A and B are shown apart, each in its own frame.
Chain A
Amino acid sequence: MGVTVRQADADDAVNGVPPRWVALPETVEEVSAVLRTCAERDLAVVPAGGGTKLHWGPPPERCDVLLDMCCMNAVLEHAAGDLVVRAQAGVTMDALAAALADKGQELALDPPFAEYTTVGGTLATATAGPRAFRYGTARDLLIGITVVLPDGTIAKSGGKVVKNVAGYDLGKLFTGSQGTLGVIAEATFRLHPLAADRRWLVAETEVSDDVLLRLAASQTEPSAVEIDCPDGKNTTVAVLVEGSAAEARAVALREVLGDGTVTAEAPEWWGLILRDEVLLEARFPPARTVEALAAAGEAGFSFRGSAAAGRAYLESRDDVPEDELAATVTRLRARLEALGGRVTVLATPYEGVDRWGQVSALPLMRRIKERFDPGRRMSPGRFVGGI
């Protein structure tokens, strides 16, 4: 089998670690052939989608081959009547969205700048956007997966029906696995019809947990309740309503918020992460949003994310030296953990920053890694506890 392989150059480096080769498989079988060859020669592999987030996570301990999925870019099956799509991992999120929009459907994740980002990368990083509150995250929308294990074994689980409880759900395990268990080759998702209408209610206002909770619990059913606070002081709240009578429902929500403009356009910051050299993800119980917001502000981070789902992205407002960042993260983490929350550092250039904090099931996770990748050849060192 002739898999295209080229010499790597400096641009191919994964978080500063340059690979020796870049492999460009075109089929699942070719991915398998590459991984089998790498296994025989003990070469370390890092999978890449659009390459937009290869700097997330620690640098790999070693990296011989970058497995670039860009050639696996076919939407394999859009069963519109079944609200299901099956796509290769290298399909960009934009291409997927375009194919689905043709039939009035969507994959209800909200990845912005989706020109390069791929299905595989989106799953492997498991980022979630505003509408996760209503539709769940990637793991909730994924119903089937085909993966290639480090020894070249091709395995699938789930299928192309939404309701299915046969066997273990490997899709869950690979979602968020950051390329450390194997390569995601194909994914099948459940879809939603595109909403008939949408409105945003936007207000620059102080927030209270009580108001945020009443927005989220409103029977007008907002799809998202988002907060933006770039400077630790001024907050903007935006609520999305989708479906029939969106305008009237958004107006009803204005009663709850006590302020705001109803528009047909998302605010320009909606669901966007702009700077991700230093990027934290904060999780917190929705009823503690105000405290999480305050904690982020005091630690010198902007805060943008979902009050309703209890997840926000924190960008560093200043350039902070390593020691200071490490200490800040530790303090912020302690504060959020006391609320029942978590802080994960998605990206930082510094080795000395603890990215993950406490992971309660780490021994189990290590055993999973050992079983799937006994040779530690898939993105070694890129995940929790040095997995």
Chain B
Amino acid sequence: METLTAALRSLLPHDSVITDPVRLRTYECDGLTYHRATPGVVVLPDTAEQVARVVRVCNDFGVPFVARGSGTGLSGGALPREDGVLIVTSKMRRILEIDLDNRRAVVEPGVTNLAITEAVRDRGYYYAPDPSSQQVCSIGGNVAENSGGAHCLKYGFTVNHVEACEIVTPNGDLVTLDRMDPGYDLLGAFVGSEGTLGIATKITVRLSRAPEAVTTVLAAFESIEQGGQAVSAIIGAGIVPAAIEMMDALAIEAAEAAVACRYPEGAGAVLIVELDGPQAEVERQFTQLTEICSGAFELRVAADAAERAAIWKGRKSAFAAVGRISPAYIVQDGVVPRTSLPGVLAAIDRLSQEHGIRVANVFHAGDGNLHPLVLFDDAEPGAGERAEVVSGAILDLCVEHGGSITGEHGVGVDKARYMPKMFSADDLDTMQLVRCAFDPRGLSNPGKVFPTPRLCGEVPGVRKGVHPLVESGKAEQL
């Protein structure tokens, strides 16, 4: 570690290499705080060239490296390695170019998601993918996680809005992946690869034109079933709203306690539907929507931006708010086909009762992305374990219904062991072929995404008997 640090110091300004144990602790974990590790050394490069040099040094020493943006990840993706280098992009925060004529911006990876929109908003443009963490999360982290947000139902995810990425490959080459280039869609493969295929150092994003009209509606239903039916009816009517979000009674209670959002009293579920687009289109859809939601006992329509913000306030603060009604909680992130929502929600309710663990439901109803908040009291013996069981069982439900174990938070370290529930050994081996092409030495964020990856020299498809890593006790077969 010491010779490595010396080598890094020779490449970077003195204050960009952190070894002080107290300062290293700042980087122990990301938004998922129960996985922690103190990084061997932290570097804060200023330029892509510096990132490349750092990665080359890691290659020379054969040590792993992990990229970190703002550390808001919720799957432990940026969990550092004690034997490795953590490469933090927080100094790389320049917006390099804004080209509205071509609807694009070129930015460094540390730029926050919201900063891009703020740079162009007054000229009628915005950057569409809007994770709830958008004020702080970095665009590099968004690319790595293929982040989404409430508006992804209509507008798609990060991968649909990234035009090009300059990356440092795991062996230290600076390469540009561009949607325009002929050849394999390496850009598409890189987005969402959670830092395991290299480090993004420059990102070209697509900017979107602000819509002519936006209408935000809050509909309060007596029960979650009624809310769910309304969601199906909206999609069935051929409407693709910009967002459809839903919260159940417990989530509403939490939001109320935290931010006094004044959602209709006694609601079993609230639905937030945002329509946007050309005025005429929004008007027609709004008429249809009011008919569909005729079963709601209250329907609020935001008259202006302030009222819109008020409607969104409860939803946006829901995660933080559950702290008000529960000492501890786990945020789950699973996906089911939208039409399975009613069945899955009922099953979650049964799980909750069986285990005596409350579950608050907040979700992107439009695309079936559930964020159940599994509540427990960490002072109560065994409660944490029971919450874990419920949380895991919810993922099983998602997979059983043909869904996914993660809709936006990523696999990271947290869900690597769930990957075999969704994918066969052959599926995972095939993904490893991509990994091995980019990163034959396995130095880029190892231990994330894949359970017990096989070594790149091994030929997939002919595996027989016990894996050598398992046999030697270095790995576990899950």
A contacts, CB < 8 Å to B: 79, 81-84, 104, 126, 136, 139-140, 147, 149, 151-157, 159-173, 175-177, 181, 192-194, 196, 209, 213, 216-217, 219-221, 243-245, 248-249, 283, 285-287, 310, 341-342, 344, 356-357, 359-365, 367-368, 370-372, 383-385
Answer whether residue B447 sits at the interface, using C-beta atoms and an 8 A cutoff: no
Q: A286-B103, A364-B438, A383-B183 are in contact. Are A159 and B280 (CB under 8 A)?
A: no
**B133-164 interface with A by 8 A CB criterion:** 145-146, 148, 152-153, 156-157, 159-160
**Closest beta carbon of chain A to B350's beta carbon, Å:** 22
* Residue among B145, B188, B278, B405 making CB contact with A245, cutoff 8 Å: B278
Q: Which residue of chain A lies nearest to B440 when distances are taken between CB atoms in the complex?
A: A367
A165 touches B339 (CB 8 A): no
Q: How far is the CA of A217 from the CA of B336 in the complex (A)?
A: 35
Question: Are A283 and B180 closer than 8 Å at their CB atoms?
Answer: yes
- The answer for the CA separation of A97 and B285 in the assembled complex, in Å, is 25
**Residue among A82, A162, A169, A172 facing the most chain B CB atoms (10 A cut-off):** A162
Please, which residue of chain B has its CB at the minimum distance from the CB of A77? B402
Contact in complex: A104, B238 (CB < 8 Å): yes
For residue B224, which residues in chain A have a CB less than 8 angstroms away from its CB? none
- Please determine whether B278 and A162 come into contact, CB atoms closer than 8 angstroms: no
Against A, the Cβ 8 Å flags (1 = close, 0 = not) of B98-125 are 0101110000000000000000000010
Number of interface residues of B (CB under 8 A): 90
Q: Which residues of B contact A209 (CB under 8 A)?
A: 101
A252 to chain B, nearest CB (A): 9
- In the complex the two chains form, is B181's CB within 8 Å of A159's CB? no
**Inter-chain contact A81/B280, CB cutoff 8 Å:** no
> Which chain B residue has the least Cβ–Cβ distance from A359?
B183
Q: Which residues does chain B contribute within 8 Å of A193, judged by CB atoms?
A: 238-240
24 A-B pairs with CB atoms under 8 Å apart are A81-B337, A82-B338, A149-B461, A159-B404, A163-B364, A164-B335, A164-B403, A166-B404, A166-B422, A167-B428, A168-B192, A171-B188, A172-B189, A173-B188, A194-B238, A243-B278, A244-B283, A249-B278, A285-B101, A359-B183, A364-B438, A367-B437, A370-B437, A371-B436
Chain B residues whose CB sits within 8 angstroms of the CB of A364 once the complex forms: 169, 175, 186, 437-438
Q: Which residue on A lies nearest to B282, using beta carbons?
A: A244
B210: A residues at CB distance < 8 A: 219
A113, B418: Cα distance in complex, Å? 44
Tell me the smallest distance from the CB of B335 to a CB of chain A, in Å: 5
Please name all residues of chain B whose beta carbon is closer than 8 Å to the beta carbon of A359 when the two chains form the complex: 181-183
Q: Which residues of A contact B338 (CB under 8 A)?
A: 81-82
Seen from chain B, the residues whose Cβ lies within 8 Å of a Cβ on chain A are 99, 101-103, 124, 145-146, 148, 152-153, 156-157, 159-160, 169, 173, 175-178, 180-189, 191-193, 209-212, 232, 235-236, 238-240, 277-278, 280-281, 283-285, 335-339, 364, 367-369, 402-411, 415, 419, 422-424, 426-431, 433-438, 449-450, 460-461
**Distance A361 CA – B124 CA, assembled complex (angstroms):** 35
B174's nearest neighbour on chain A, judged by CB, is A360
Complex Cα gap A316–B430 (Å): 41
Q: Contacting A161 at CB < 8 Å: which of B187, B193, B367, B424?
A: B367
Determine whether the beta carbon of B183 is less than 8 Å from that of A362: yes
Q: Which of A140, A160, A245, A283 makes the CB contact (< 8 A) with B160? A: A140
Q: With A and B bound together, what is the CA distance between A155 and B146 in angstroms? A: 22
Assess the B337–A163 pair: CB atoms within 8 A.
no
Assembled-state Cα–Cα distance A244/B213 (Å): 14
A248 and B280 within 8 A (CB): yes
Contact A163 B369, CB 8 Å, known A155-B426, A220-B212: yes
In this complex, what residue of A is CB-closest to B183?
Answer: A384
Evaluate whether A81 and B236 lie within 8 angstroms (CB atoms) in the complex, with A155-B429, A244-B280, A360-B176 already known: yes
CB <8 Å contact, B185 and A164: no
- Whether B146 pairs with A165 at a CB distance below 8 angstroms is yes
Cα separation A371 to B436 with both chains bound (whole Å): 8
Contact B182 A169 (CB under 8 A): no
Complex interface: chain A residues within 8 A of B236 (CB): 81
A162 contacts B367, C-beta separation under 8 Å: yes
Asked if A342 and B101 make an inter-chain contact with CB atoms under 8 angstroms apart, the answer reads no
B462 CB → nearest A CB, Å: 8
